[in-house]
Structure 1
Amino acid sequence: MKRRNWVALAAMGLGLAACVEQPQRAVVMVPAQSCDTSFRVANASSRTVERLYFSHSSRSGWGNDQLGSSVLPPGRQLSYRAANTGLYDFRVVWDNGRAAELRQVNVCVASQITVTNGGLRAN
C-alpha cells in the first residue's frame, strides 16, 4: 500500500512539474554574413582585352564571356557584381590571343581586378 501511494505521489509531482513554467532559452539569430560583391576590372595593360570570364571557384567552367560583343581597351574599366560571395576565378584574353588567369579571389575583400601586361592581380 505504501508503495502504491509513493507511485501516485511521484506521478502527481511529474504532472505538476509539467504545469510549472519552464525557463526560456534565448535564441539569438545571427544574420548571414554578407559583403559587397561588386568589383571593377581595370585594363592597365597596353593591349585590348577581347574576352573576360569570371566564375565562382567551385564551378568547373568559365561560362559566358562577360564582355559580350564589347572589348576593354587599355586605360578603361568596367564594373560588375558577383552573384554570390566567396572565391572567384578570372580569365582575360587579349587581342593577340594571349590569356591570363587569376584564381581564388575573395570578392568580399578584393574590389578591383587589374589587368597588366604581366597578368592579373586583385586589389
Structure 2
Amino acid sequence: MTAFKTIARAALILAALGTASVATAAEPPVAVDRVAAAAPAQSRDGLNRRVRIHNNTGWTMTHFYASDSRISSWQEDMLGRSVLNAGRSIMMNIDDGSGACLYDLKARFTNGQELTRFNVNVCQIADYYYTR
C-alpha cells in the first residue's frame, strides 16, 4: 500500500476519533499536501465504501484490517496506534481505490482473539458489528 493511502487512512481515522492533530509539542511539524490529505484514494464508480465498525464484544479492539478479497495478504492495520473500546464504533473508509466491493475484515482484541469474515460487500452495508 502506498504511503499516500496510509496517510489518507490515518487522517480519516483521526478525524473520526475527533483528534485534530497527531503531532505533539516535541515533534516538528510535517508539511502535508492539503489536497492529498483531504482526498484519499477513491474508486471512480461513486459507490460508498464507508462502513461504521461497531465493537460490541466487551473487549478492546487493538487492530482492524480490511483487505480486498482478491489479495491473499492483509493490508495495514487501519486503527494504527488507536484502539476501539468496547461499546464504541468508528467510521472507516474501506475504499482503496481499486473499485473492489468485496473485502475480508479482521479484528484483533485485547483478549488475544481474532475475528475474521471473508467477502463482506462494503458497497452494500453501512454498519458491521463485532459481537461475542
- TM-score category of the 2 structures, normalised to the smaller one: 0.5 to 0.7
After superposition, give the CA deviation of every residue in 1:54-84 in whole Å (9 maximum; x if it has no partner). Answer: 1110111111111111111011111111223
After superposition, give the CA deviation of every residue in 1:36-66 in whole Å (9 maximum; x if it has no partner). Answer: 1111111011111111111110111111111
- Greater relative contact order (Cα < 8 A, sep 6+): 2
- Percent pairwise identity: 30
TM-score w.r.t. length of structure 2? 0.61
After superposition, give the CA deviation of every residue in 1:11-54 in whole Å (9 maximum; x if it has no partner). Answer: xxxxxxxxxxxxxxxxxxxxx85411111111011111111111
TM-score w.r.t. length of structure 1? 0.65
Tell me whether 1:64 sits opposite 2:76 in the alignment: yes
Tell me whether 1:108 sits opposite 2:123 in the alignment: yes
Any stretches of 5+ residues in structure 2 without a counterpart? 1-43
Pick the structure with greater CA Rg: 1
The letter of the residue matching 2:91 is: S
Contact 1:51 1:92 in 2 (8 A): yes
Aligned twin of 2:59: 47
After superposition, give the CA deviation of every residue in 1:80-103 in whole Å (9 maximum; x if it has no partner). Answer: 112234100000111011111011
The letter of the residue matching 2:77 is: D
The letter of the residue matching 1:69 is: R
Question: Aligned equivalents of 1:115 and 1:54: distance in 2?
Answer: 14
- Which of the two has greater strand per residue? 1
Q: What is the number of residues matched between the two proteins?
A: 86
Tell me whether 1:93 sits opposite 2:105 in the alignment: no
CA RMSD of aligned residues (A): 1.4
Any stretches of 5+ residues in structure 1 without a counterpart? 1-31, 118-123
Contact 1:34 1:85 in 2 (8 A): no
Q: Greater CA deviation, 58-67 or 82-91?
A: 82-91
